[in-house]
Amino acid sequence: MDENTKPTNFIRDFIDEDIKSNKHNGKVITRFPPEPNGYLHIGHAKSICLNFGIAIDYHGLCNLRFDDTNPTKEEVEYVESIEEDVRWLGFDWDDRMYYASDYFQKLYDFAVQLIKEGKAYVDASTTEEIKDHRGVPTEAGTESPYRNRPIEESLELFEGMKDGKYEDGKYVLRAKVDMNSPNMIMRDPVIYRIKKAEHHRTGNKWCIYPMYDYAHPISDWIEGITHSLCTLEFEIHRPIYDWFLIELHLENRPRQIEFARLSLNYTIMSKRKLLELVEGKYVAGWDDPRMPTISGLRRRGYTPESIRNFAEKVGVAKRDAITDVALLEHSIREDLNKRAPRVMAVLNPLKVIITNYPDDKTEDLEAINNPEDLSAGTRKLEFSKVVYIEQDDFKEIPPPKFKRLIPGGEVRLKNAYIIKCDEVIKNENGDVIELHCTFDPETKSGSEGSKRKVKGTIHWVSASNAIKMEVRLYDRLFLVENPDADAEKDFKELLNPHSLDILNECLIEPGIANAKPGDKFQFERLGYFCVDPLSNDEKIVFNRTVSLRDTWAKIETKNK
């Protein structure tokens, strides 16, 4: 790995240390272990970039493993969406796609081994009793009356649990760890429970299912994982992670390393809550462009590169913090600025008649496709007697410092001419519906006369060939920075009622007619937009990915 270009962080330090001591023969194998109970979100993207990124940098491997130990909440739809999202982000697991459910038999056999060695027992206590006996951190817990039942009895009962002899909740298998541990997780955790539910892969073969704390370390070990990266809430689970591997006498044990989870302001990251938004139709689905899901961001116009860069910028930390969504927006602007072709589009059109322009004339003007990338070339823009400008770019009574069009004032039409507003036409309600302007033929863009200075430059489209489109403007999904913070209020009450604004009368250059879903553009002066998959031949729909105003860049410059 090139030491100079890659970030160093505490995770990489641990790995370097293990490589130096030749642990695992210097190999690095990580895994990304989603539970298929929802779509992936930007927080998962951080974990994906971290796990796959480390594997790439250390010439190791990263497995995709579905942590499907809970039969009731998991669906095939989620599995497929997860595969799609990880691939889209640019990562590949070759043939190493695994399921924790592939290991159900092995996990069962290991549990039998634990019972045989007196390290696990079948408990008939109820969930409440188990909870009560566990006690509080400052006081020892109470041992279950079943804790010392004979090994033979536990073996028989556990087999009966597996064979479906008992109803849900009748028995559980618990690890015999330490009821006096100050770490509550170590107080004889439940490792198997009865659940007569159909599993998306194993069907009805199993009616007992292993708990995460038990299944995870063993699944890691089975796959030869060397470094098991997880979020901070698992830090207190690390002793139990190690306990199972040690008590099962497993060699080459993986090392669990925890990092801070990603949180973003103005959104939520809990899959349960995201599912609530989808099921309650508060959003149009998991891939609604307002959602923090990878599929939502993709539909919104985010690129894999921008998300990978974002993950890199956020870095890994040992303490939880909320990341400003402005940093994510900055990452997509940075990427699209380099490669999105510029076009002119008018969202709220105001008709402008250029009275001194010949009635039937049209002419071709030249426009640069991307000033950041001159290899993107130029295109022809048609100019004609009637053009449309943005309603906002004209003010009859201008606020202070207004540099655009006012009655009697001049403005430059980008890539075209300077025009002057001679007359303002209103309807019976007093709304401005049309402007009559004159153009100065000497000021054609690129000509000598174009050097004449006016205060403002605005975008426009020509009535002769502009096409109509629908534009969807998105705003933050929530009104408050941290929708999870207010325990009193249901998070759904904090949704931003104006998070989606649909504009139907927008006009755009005709070149766009051939754009395909997912194509991205900068609408001059307005922001970055991407063609929505809803679009068809009859109707082009654009999603605004992000506006042009970069609040993050501003913060960065200020801090320099």
Secondary structure of 445-499 in the HEC alphabet? CCCHHHHCCCCCEECEEECCCCEEEEEEEECCCECCCCCCCCCCCCHHHHECCCC
Annotation marks residue 488 as catalytic: no
Concatenate the DSSP letters of all residues of 106-122 into one string: HHHHHHHHHHHTTSEEE
Question: Min. distance of Cβ 47 from ligand ATP in angstroms?
Answer: 4
Q: Which residues pair with residue 503 across a beta bridge?
A: 471
Give 46 or 385: the residue with its C-beta nearer to ligand ATP: 46
Q: Least distance from C-beta 71 to ligand ATP, angstroms?
A: 14
Smaller CB separation from ligand ATP, 185 or 463: 185
Work out how close the CB of 349 gets to ligand ATP at its nearest, in angstroms, rounded to a whole number.
Answer: 42
Question: Helix, strand, or coil here: 179?
Answer: coil
Long-range contacts of 125-130 (CB under 8 A, 24+ apart): 125/172, 126/169, 127/169, 130/172, 130/174, 130/190
Choose between 231 and 464: whose C-beta lies nearer to ligand ATP.
Answer: 231
Catalytic residue among 6, 12, 27, 35: 35
Question: With b meaning 16 or more CB within 10 Å and e meaning fewer, what string describes 217-255?
Answer: bbbbbbbebbbbbbeeebeebbebbebbbebbeeeebbb
Among candidate residues 405, 365, 369, the one with its CA nearest the CA of residue 389: 405
271 counts as catalytic: yes
Give me the catalytic one of 6, 119, 149, 261.
261
Instruction: Give least dist CB 89 to ligand ATP, A.
Output: 13
Closest CA to 29 of 57, 63, 78: 63
Nearer to ligand ATP, 141 or 304 (CB): 304
- CB closer to ligand ATP out of 12 and 170: 12
Q: Which 3 state secondary structure label does DSSP give 356?
A: coil
SS3 56: helix
Secondary structure class of 239 (helix, strand, coil): helix
Q: Which residues bind ligand ATP (CB under 6 A)?
A: 33-35, 37, 43-44, 46-47, 67, 230-231, 261-262, 269-272
Nearest-approach distance from CB 31 to ligand ATP, in angstroms:
8
Of residues 315 and 358, the one with the C-beta less far from ligand ATP: 315
Cα–Cα distance between 18 and 11 in angstroms, integer? 11
**Least distance (Å) from ligand ATP to the CB of residue 37?**
6
First to last CA, the chain: 30
The least CB distance from residue 555 to ligand ATP, in Å, is: 22
| Residue nearest ligand ATP by beta-carbon distance | 43
Please, which residue, 114 or 215, has the CB nearer to ligand ATP? 215
3-state secondary structure of 311: helix
Closest CA to 473 of 425, 431, 529: 529
Three-state secondary-structure class, residue 528: strand
Any catalytic annotation for residue 261? yes
The one catalytic residue among 65, 193, 271, 333: 271
Cα–Cα distance, 166 to 193 (Å, whole number):
11
The catalytic residue positions are 35, 261, 271
